[in-house]
Amino acid sequence: MAERTFYNEVLTDHNLHPDNKYHLKDPNLVKEGVNPSCGDDIVLQLKYKDGVIEDASFVGEGCAISQASADIMINLILGKTKEEAEHLSDIFLRMIQGEASDEEIEELEEGSALQDISHMPARVKCAVLGWRTLNEMLKDA
Amino acid sequence: MAEYEFSKEEDKKIRDDFPLLNNRDIVYMDNAATTQKPVEVIDSWKRYYENYNANPFRGVYGLSVDATEVYEDARKAVAGFIGADSYCEIVFTRNASESINLLSTSLCEYILQPGDEIIVSIAEHHSNFLPWQQAAKRYGAKVVFFECEEDGEFKKEKLEELITGRTRILAITHLSNVLGRINDVKTFAEICHKNHVLISVDGAQSVPHIPVNVKELDVDFLQFSGHKMLAPMGIGVLYGKEELLNAMPPYMYGGEMIETVTRDGATYAELPHKFEAGTVNVGGAAALAEAIRYYEKIGFEKIMARERALTKAAIEKMGEIEGIEIIGSKDPTQHEGIITFLVDGVHPHDVAAIMDAEGVCVRAGHHCAQPLLQYLYDIREKKNTGGISTTRVSMAFYNTPEEVDRMAEALAKIRPEMGLT
């Protein structure tokens, strides 16, 4: 028997009742992220000014992992500087590969609910979709 | 057909034949993707490499003659299994995909002219769509789609309407890997031949589950994969009528497919070697022949009765679970072991992941049939989470009623686990 499912309450709750899934009014950064394996498709929207993420949201469709992960990510990066967001992103991506320390994972707060995905290689792309899209946006910002 | 139930002893005997099913505590219901292998098949592969291995056809020595005999005996076994007139009509390939690539490339070079039309059913696996789409592009021909009803039926009247004076080929599956419904290819072949159209049938899902006789169906070409019918990965078959294969040009060039080679050109070997360039997969062919013997030992009558009983039980149990919608026909007798479905509010990849956590292996996604899933999505009124994606369970005769129960129990947990009731 495979290990128990990683669909914990944090994850299903963010999937069913996302805090940040809506169209942002007047975003100045918008980027689409696609994961062809699940057909996940999100559009990340940011209000980014003077190096700070002042507001953020996402819209789109996909599996519970991609949707919950993007929603949790936005809670984490709201009000953060580019460097702080990139720092969290770095921890998240390493956590998914099973390479982050417990102290680092603590910084991710609810994002830690996704750490067991490291045992499910087929779903890693779903979990990192939001973060990968954010990195691409900030790189050019 | 009379309902046949395997006895407990038969069940156990069959399960004992499949090492993987005993080595892993899982319910394997992704048989439309690939089947597990019985020990006889695994042993036959080993037996070949331990006792008969040499490069076939080339050697003058006895061992090479033995290898050639193993290979050609396998070809005869395949010819007998599908009712071909002659072993010359059986070309060994890697899998059904390679068979269709070979066929579309060679046949289109032989017959296709600018402005010609190829009819392809909307239900095709990408393997039986892209090769024809690309061949059509190369020759300035057109692909025309043969669409099904919402219940998955392909109506002959629709086909008759689609055929024009420019139609050259119909490519259609015998049994869709999504809909699971048998297509009436015998009638389609009659319609095609009346209109001087060739018919090529993808038998990847039918040959492992129902008796298929190419003479009775009168199809011009048939393709299937060994690995979906108990044999190893890497051996497949293209059947073609002898006069057509004879007239078609080679697909790959190289060793063992020639008669003579000069500085300026070559003449090619007789059928079927003309289409088998390079050293062939003798061990795979031997194992495919053993798989055929295994099918013949149990018999399709029992296999079909078993798979149909499992399918019926599964559909009934799925009907009791809230939020499940079955794709294609609602009639269990129109699903040959393949049940594709949606779970309301849950993405198919989440469905498959939760079922996996319960030890049940099922497929999620677009099943390599995106045009079909897009078409079904467009004609369905209700839209589901996950867009065109769906989840699929697919049975083999070695599945058991207990496994159907375990599958249904896993399925019943999904919506509650995802916070839906």
**How would you classify the pairing of strands B236-240 and B221-225?**
antiparallel
Structure tokens at B3: 């309902």
Mean pLDDT across chain B, nearest whole number?
95
pLDDT of residue B17: 97
Residue A53 forms beta bridges with which residues?
A48
- Over range B315-325, report the average pLDDT: 96
The Cα B113–Cα A23 span in angstroms is 51
Residue B120 forms beta bridges with which residues?
B145, B171
How far from chain centre, in Å, is Cα A83? 16
For chain A, which residues lie within 8 Å of any Cβ of chain B, measuring from their own Cβ?
1-7, 9, 12-13, 15-16, 37-39, 61-65, 120, 122-123, 126
Cβ–Cβ < 8 Å for B304, B210: yes
- Over range B316-332, report the average pLDDT: 95
Share of chain B above pLDDT 90, in %: 88
Domain residue ranges in chain A: 9-140
Higher-pLDDT residue of B296, A141: B296
Selected for mutation to probe chain B from A5, A9, A13, A42 (highest B CB count within 10 Å) is: A5
Q: How far is B36 from chain A (nearest CA, A)?
A: 18
> Is residue A121's pLDDT more than 90?
no
**How would you classify the pairing of strands B258-261 and B221-225?**
unpaired
Share of chain A above pLDDT 90, in %: 79
Q: Do A63 and B386 touch (CB under 8 A)?
A: yes
Q: Which of B48-57, B101-110, B342-351, B370-379 has the lowest mean pLDDT?
A: B370-379
The Cα B291–Cα B150 span in angstroms is 35
> Is residue B120's pLDDT more than 50?
yes
pLDDT of residue A39: 78
Q: Do B419 and A120 touch (CB under 8 A)?
A: no
Domain spanning A9-140 has what CATH number? Answer: 3.90.1010.10
- Concatenating the DSSP letter of every residue in B13-80 gives HHHHH-HHHHHS--EE-BTTT-----HHHHHHHHHHHHHT-S-TTT--SHHHHHHHHHHHHHHHHHHH
Mean pLDDT across chain A, nearest whole number?
92
> Is residue B1's pLDDT more than 70?
no
The minimal CB distance from A16 to the residues B358, B359, B419 is found for: B419
Q: Do B347 and A64 touch (CB under 8 A)?
A: yes
Residues of A in contact with B24 (CB under 8 A): none
Residues of B in contact with A38 (CB under 8 A): 347, 349, 365, 386, 389
pLDDT of residue B199: 98
The minimal CB distance from B347 to the residues A2, A4, A38 is found for: A38
Residues of A in contact with B389 (CB under 8 A): 38-39
Structure tokens at B79: 């010819």
Assess B353–A contact: CB distance below 8 Å, yes or no.
yes
The Cα B108–Cα B118 span in angstroms is 10
ipTM of the complex: 0.87
pLDDT band at B299 (very low <50, low <70, confident <90, very high): very high
> Which strands, in side-by-side order, build the sheet including B142-146?
B90-93, B236-240, B221-225, B198-202, B167-173, B117-121, B142-146
| Nearest of B348, B317, B343, B321 to residue B412 by alpha carbon | B321
pLDDT of residue B134: 98
> Is residue B317's pLDDT more than 90?
yes
- Over range A63-73, report the average pLDDT: 96
Rg (CA), chain A: 14
Contacts across the A-B interface (CB distance below 8 Å)? 62
The answer to whether residue B368 is catalytic is: yes
Task: Kindly list the structural domains of chain B, giving each domain's residue range(s) and its CATH number in brackets, ordered by start.
Answer: 8-30+299-417 (3.90.1150.10), 42-295 (3.40.640.10)
DSSP B408: H
pTM of the model: 0.92
Assess B261–A contact: CB distance below 8 Å, yes or no.
no
> Is residue B55's pLDDT more than 80?
yes
Q: Which of B148-157, B224-233, B363-372 has the lowest mean pLDDT?
A: B363-372
The Cα B270–Cα B273 span in angstroms is 6
Amino acid at B347: H
> Is residue B234's pLDDT more than 60?
yes
The minimal CB distance from B417 to the residues A3, A5, A13 is found for: A5
Q: How far is A105 from chain B (nearest CA, A)?
A: 24
Q: What is the pLDDT of residues A11-66, one digit of tens each?
A: 999 999 999 999 999 999 999 999 887 778 999 999 999 999 999 999 998 999 99
pLDDT band at A119 (very low <50, low <70, confident <90, very high): confident
Residue corresponding to tokens 């994972």? A105
pLDDT of residue B379: 86
Residues 19-38 of B with CB under 8 A from A: 25
pLDDT of residue B4: 62
